[in-house]
Structure 1
């Protein structure tokens, strides 16, 4: 069962050039997440945030990587048919023949660009961000996913209407069973401290599996709470995939196709957790009957864009 907030729908594997809407426009706190790959023979590509529905509309953000011997990324804006002054960053965050993960975060100062988890550049606002209502992508690039999170639906006063409210609590249809995977996609916002994902027994309120990323500490705590008592914490990890400004994807799809991917799978003896195709940890069942697990709760500093049971 796929459960998405009203009006929210990611774009998967669009043809290039791509011209599509941003329903409801952008605002401070919105984010655009793009996964793609760069061909070996790339020359250049661009992404424009449009203040209209056509390619000739005003451009609030022009993002234009150029592989021309003097590799650089050009930023600009266009108003009333005229391009304004360019900002040239003589650094290249993309690699030929490689995949990438790009996040455009709307802040009070401008568009903060992150590529593969690293800050790249902030382009200061030249046009009101509320005017943005379209995305145009063209050139030498292949796109797998476009997600716009935290926009406003027309006629709604709730600016977060395309995010699930957190804390989140819902029943798991049919409960947990071997080989079942829960899909959660979201983002750890800037300034986040901690969050938790709890697999629970609704009848007793026991927490069979508690996963608690603590962003500032750089750890992911795992535990259970049975009969009102917390058990022994598991803390050891080889890496921590939950960082400020990073998207995560809890999914049972082919984990080799996504840059930022986490998969939680229930087995007879344990929950198995993978991130980016690599095994992160196992959490062995502490309840005698894991089939009693029938509720999912999510709390803390996290934005959730969709959930699939």
Structure 2
């Protein structure tokens, strides 16, 4: 038998699914079955944890860590160091949030001794239970850190970057996404795999470097002579211009209700999602704007970025097939975390996520999670031997109710699932 997650055909949502279930024992298999658009992008790491840094550290390198501070923790640390074991050799950058002290201590370790601590900070964003996104940028003068997209603290280089080969994470925080990013060159040009189609998405993470802004183009040819969707943030005007060039530029669109998120040196996370009638744009997990197709859905075959933009990452996501099934041979065990990110399809009212002991909803379902927008409720249940248990209901969270991008995190406990 196989245990799985499923979304029945009638449920409507776009989701991305970082699946964080990788135990090593010989347990029941776990599968994932979906009928919405989604992708698998992350994996929880046990602590303490050591990771080899591909290509080492150099100016322009970025490390991106997403996680949550564990409840009851007094401190945790992130080290950029020479060797796999802690304090075995040099530690070029020791980043040490201490919720118990409301301080984030930074330091270096060399020759068997710690150097002078640095404690100045604008605020403390690592309270217990709090989720965070930490970006560490390797700059000419030192390490720059950003928390949840905002500049946080800097730390001048004290040791040779060439000696740093490992990332080390201590206990005290749960990390579910760790990535290393190298600087992209501009202009950025890429062929879109199999062209744009319904459900396909492109994600950009970066920061504008001046007030002149930049443009993101879903082009119909390699040279961007024709463009299905032109997205042009202009910090000097505080506006984002949208347009298309299909044998000539059309009418500009400038109106939107959201705040302008593309000011210089502010990192953003933008997702462009193609639906059957429009491009939907979300920035920093919030709906930003949309742009109706002026040509065919499949017209865009190339993607390019022009302007002064510090690009940290460009990702292409394909929609999952209907009744998509993903099997996890190791099964679910205590401590596993599964994260579902997405948004409701236009007009969608409900979807479900099912943890199954099998490959279909006809098998036993250990956990059924079913948001229902029209009822303003999230229904939870289980089904064993074809019989449903007693429903448990909670008020639907505002991102689901408002059809905004959402993140659902399911933690496997010893006797329950925690959402």
Place the TM-score, normalised by the shorter chain, in its bin: 0.7 to 0.9
Is the Cα contact below 8 Å between 2:217 and 2:231 reproduced in 1? yes
Query: In structure 2, what is the equivalent of residue 133 of structure 1?
Result: 165
Gaps in structure 2 of 5+ consecutive residues: 1-40, 318-419
Task: Choose the corresponding residue for 1:232, options 226, 235, 252.
Answer: 252
Whole-angstrom distance in 2 between the partners of 1:144 and 1:217: 37
Task: Choose the corresponding residue for 1:303, options 285, 304, 311.
Answer: 311
Is the Cα contact below 8 Å between 1:93 and 1:120 reproduced in 2? no
Query: In structure 2, what is the equivalent of residue 146 of structure 1?
Result: 178
Count of aligned pairs: 273
Task: Choose the corresponding residue for 1:194, options 191, 213, 222.
Answer: 213
Q: What are the within-5 Å matches in structure 2 for residues 116-195 of structure 1?
A: 116-150=148-182, 160=183, 163=184, 165-178=185-198, 180-188=199-207, 190-191=209-210, 193-195=212-214
1:286 paired with 2:272, answer no
Displacement of 1:216 in angstroms is: 5.0
Q: What are the within-5 Å matches in structure 2 for residues 34-113 of structure 1?
A: 34-55=65-86, 56-68=88-100, 70-89=101-120, 91-113=123-145
Find the residue that maps to 1:96 and give its secondary structure: coil
Whole-angstrom distance in 2 between the partners of 1:94 and 1:218: 31
Is the Cα contact below 8 Å between 1:44 and 1:66 reproduced in 2? yes
Gaps in structure 1 of 5+ consecutive residues: 1-9, 151-159, 250-261
Find the residue that maps to 2:170 and give its secondary structure: strand
Relative to structure 1, is the Cα distance of residues 216 and 44 closer, same or farther in structure 2, using a 3 angstrom cutoff?
Answer: farther
Is the Cα contact below 8 Å between 1:176 and 1:292 reproduced in 2? yes
Is the Cα contact below 8 Å between 2:208 and 2:262 reproduced in 1? no
Displacement of 1:209 in angstroms is: 0.7
Structure with bigger gyration radius: 2
Find the residue that maps to 2:129 and give its secondary structure: coil
Whole-angstrom distance in 1 between the partners of 2:44 and 2:266: 21
Spell out, residue by residue over 1:79-137, the C-alpha distance to the aligned partner (whole angstroms, 9 max, x if none). 01111122223642223222111121222322122212333221121112232211111
Is the Cα contact below 8 Å between 2:272 and 2:281 reproduced in 1? yes
Task: Choose the corresponding residue for 2:225, options 181, 205, 222.
Answer: 205
1:242 paired with 2:271, answer no
Whole-angstrom distance in 2 between the partners of 1:82 and 1:117: 33
Task: Choose the corresponding residue for 1:31, options 40, 57, 62.
Answer: 62
Displacement of 1:59 in angstroms is: 0.5
Whole-angstrom distance in 2 between the partners of 1:14 and 1:95: 20
Displacement of 1:285 in angstroms is: 1.5
RMSD between aligned residues: 2.6
Relative to structure 1, is the Cα distance of residues 276 and 190 closer, same or farther in structure 2, using a 3 angstrom cutoff?
Answer: closer
Relative to structure 1, is the Cα distance of residues 173 and 92 closer, same or farther in structure 2, using a 3 angstrom cutoff?
Answer: closer
Query: In structure 2, what is the equivalent of residue 263 of structure 1?
Result: 271
Whole-angstrom distance in 1 between the partners of 2:244 and 2:297: 12
Whole-angstrom distance in 2 between the partners of 1:119 and 1:170: 30
Whole-angstrom distance in 2 between the partners of 1:141 and 1:79: 25
Relative to structure 1, is the Cα distance of residues 67 and 174 closer, same or farther in structure 2, using a 3 angstrom cutoff?
Answer: closer
Query: In structure 2, what is the equivalent of residue 5 of structure 1?
Result: none
Is the Cα contact below 8 Å between 1:192 and 1:302 reproduced in 2? no
Task: Choose the corresponding residue for 1:223, options 231, 243, 258.
Answer: 243
Is the Cα contact below 8 Å between 2:133 and 2:148 reproduced in 1? yes
Whole-angstrom distance in 1 between the partners of 2:204 and 2:172: 28
Is the Cα contact below 8 Å between 1:11 and 1:147 reproduced in 2? no
Is the Cα contact below 8 Å between 1:102 and 1:113 reproduced in 2? yes
Whole-angstrom distance in 1 between the partners of 2:310 and 2:156: 26
